[in-house]
């Protein structure tokens, strides 16, 4: 999620943990055409295998071990999660990708396999997400040659997944592209690119479930109003991300741009005119008009439901499955109680509409776990409670 223009710029696993889920929910997510275990409750392992520091093998190994290790995934599993979404920058595995060389580094594949084994060994499923940078996504949209190179990357990577024993098709999902940006605003251009990636992956991994979203940052409406009709492949899950309203979820985040960086203490769970002019006057003058507009609207769970409802109708109408691949609130300046309330509201909306979910993120500014490197990781109790685990 955090390359938004450098930001803007299964049921089986739950049963093993002694949990149960409504039958209708399990049946929806586990429809026969999907070969993987259902993705029900997950976290993203952010800043682990994407944007890794340059360096030799020892430096990479240290970075990977410091960020997440087997004990962390054991803790995640013990809390009731059943899957981990792993963002991967494609040139982490193919260091010469920018020059048109999609060959995968054997040394880095070995590090990658060792890292992912720590997830599998804790009975968690894995979503392997192509978390390309903004620049890479722009090149994909504009450059046929680079799109062919990325397609070859998918053939190579999917071939490794299909032939390396730990990546069983019932617990390994392949996500084609994280958050397409404005360069993919033209829907047919996006459909063509994703159709190519589907074909490239299927040439090497015919049995793994693939995950694909709509364009426009993977917003839910990019599926039901953008794609409109599904891709032909029968073994797909459609992903969507949810961060609305951005004034609340991204308040205080410098990487989101100067407008969002200047927001603080923006409320959630309120009706129109909850702040009033005196409170609005406490904001930086450059954002006051935006806060006036925010204050004129209602910001409650019911105000978010339409997107989930429309996507549910689309899934039912086309016999498809969707998964909420990202949602969360930046924690630095959002009111803590309101942050937990928003997380609860979105998680409940997902479950009420029979969508599995993965929160952004495990560790970090949007994270479940509080900052710090001490082990075991310290979960934020209100967020843990809001997630219902």
CA-CA distance, 241 to 184, in Å (whole number)?
A: 16
* Residue 87, beta-bridge partner list: 129
Average pLDDT over residues 166-180: 97
Average pLDDT of the segment spanning 9-32: 35
pLDDT at 1 over 70: no
Contacts of 188 (CB under 8 A, 6+ apart): none
Q: Is pLDDT of 230 > 60?
A: yes
Cα 148 vs. chain centroid, distance in angstroms? Answer: 25
Residues 6+ positions from 32 with CB-CB distance below 8 Å: none
Q: Could you tell me the fold of the domain covering 11-245+299-386? A: TIM Barrel (3.20.20)
Q: Is the pLDDT of residue 215 over 50?
A: yes
For 94-134, what is each residue's pLDDT tens digit?
A: 999 999 999 999 999 999 999 999 999 999 999 999 999 99
Distance of alpha carbon 374 from alpha carbon 372, whole angstroms:
6
pLDDT the model gives residue 32: 39
Give tens-digit pLDDT for 22-56. Answer: 333 333 343 434 667 899 999 999 999 987 777 78
| C-alpha span between 323 and 25 (Å, rounded) | 12
The position carrying tokens 């309203």 is: 245
Cis geometry, peptide bond prior to residue 181 (ω within 30 degrees of 0): no
- Integer angstrom CA distances of residue 373 from 124, 268, 351: 22, 30, 32
Residue extents of the structural domains in the chain: 11-245+299-386
Mean pLDDT over all residues of the chain? 91
Burial class (CB in 10 A: 0-12, 13-18, 19+), 55: exposed
14 alpha-carbon distance from chain centroid: 20
Mean pLDDT of 303-319: 98
Beta carbons of 296 and 273 less than 8 angstroms apart: yes
The dihedrals phi and psi of 172, each to the nearest 5 degrees, come to: -125, 120
How far is residue 84's CA from residue 327's CA, in Å, rounded to a whole number? 14
C-alpha to C-alpha distance for 185 and 93, rounded to whole angstroms: 28
């Amino acid at each position: 999620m955090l390359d938004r223009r450098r930001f803007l710029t299964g049921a089986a696993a739950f049963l093993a943990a002694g949990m149960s889920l409504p039958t209708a929910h399990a049946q929806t997510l586990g429809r026969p055409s999907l070969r993987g275990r259902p993705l029900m409750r997950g976290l993203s392992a952010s800043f682990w295998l994407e944007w890794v520091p340059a360096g030799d093998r020892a430096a990479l190994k240290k970075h990977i071990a410091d960020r997440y290790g087997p004990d962390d995934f054991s803790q995640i599993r013990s809390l009731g999660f059943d899957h981990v979404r792993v963002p991967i920058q494609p040139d982490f595995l193919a260091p010469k990708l920018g020059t048109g060389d999609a060959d995968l580094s054997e040394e880095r594949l070995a590090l990658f396999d060792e890292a992912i084994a720590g997830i599998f060994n804790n009975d968690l499923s894995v979503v392997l997400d192509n978390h390309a940078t903004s620049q890479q996504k722009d090149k994909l949209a504009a450059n046929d040659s680079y799109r062919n190179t990325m397609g070859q990357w998918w053939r190579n990577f999917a071939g490794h997944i299909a032939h390396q024993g730990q990546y069983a098709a019932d617990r390994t999902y392949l996500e084609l592209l994280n958050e397409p940006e404005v360069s993919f605003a033209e829907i047919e251009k996006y459909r063509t690119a994703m159709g190519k990636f589907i074909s490239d992956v299927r040439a090497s991994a015919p049995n793994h479930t693939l995950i694909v979203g709509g364009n426009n940052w993977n917003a839910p409406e990019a599926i039901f109003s953008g794609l409109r009709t599904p891709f032909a492949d029968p073994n797909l899950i459609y992903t969507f991300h949810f961060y609305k309203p951005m004034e609340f979820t991204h308040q205080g985040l410098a990487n989101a741009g100067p407008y969002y960086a200047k927001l603080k203490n923006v409320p959630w769970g309120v009706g129109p005119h909850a702040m009033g002019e005196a409170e609005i006057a406490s904001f930086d003058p450059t954002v006051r008009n935006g806060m006036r507009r925010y204050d004129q609207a209602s910001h409650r769970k019911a105000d978010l439901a339409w997107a989930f409802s429309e996507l549910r109708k689309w899934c039912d109408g086309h016999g498809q499955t969707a998964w909420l691949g990202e949602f969360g609130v930046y924690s630095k300046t959002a009111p803590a109680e309101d942050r937990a309330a928003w997380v609860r509201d979105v998680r409940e909306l997902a479950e009420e509409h029979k969508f599995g979910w993965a929160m952004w993120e495990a560790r970090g500014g949007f994270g479940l776990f509080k900052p710090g490197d001490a082990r075991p990781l310290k979960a934020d109790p209100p967020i843990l409670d809001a997630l219902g685990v």
